Amino acid sequence: MNRFEVVLIHSPELTNLTLVSEIDLFKDKLKNNSGILIAEENWGLRDLSYNIKKFKKAFYNFFQIEISGTTIQNISKELSQSENLLRFLFVKVKEHQELPTKLNYEKK
């Protein structure tokens, strides 16, 4: 099992209920692929560095997971088909950083 940190960036047009269901769907994908969710943070609605699909803001969610590296490809394919997800990023790390992250404290 490898350690990864994941950031999901969702559309700002989502309702709170839809956003929660999208996050739950991601967690289900992890469980179905033998992944383990270590920790998560909701970074809330934040400014984007550049416009994505004409949006200037988006909802950010951060996850620390453990999963096999080959499974990441399958999950990435599924995530890329979501219309509500603007971007996602998987970063392999040796050790997970201590939570809460600095972004959790920054002004939203």
Domain architecture of the chain: domains with CATH: 2-95 (3.30.70.60)
The pLDDT of residue 108? 57
- What's the distance, CA 46 to chain centroid? 14
Task: Mark the ranges of the chain whose per-residue pLDDT is less than 50.
Answer: none
pTM of the full predicted structure? Answer: 0.89
Residue indicated by tokens 């269901």: 21
Count of residues for the chain?
A: 108
The pLDDT of residue 101? 75
Tell me the C-alpha distance between 95 and 68, whole Å.
15
CA separation, residue 82 to residues 20, 47, 50 (Å)? 14, 21, 20
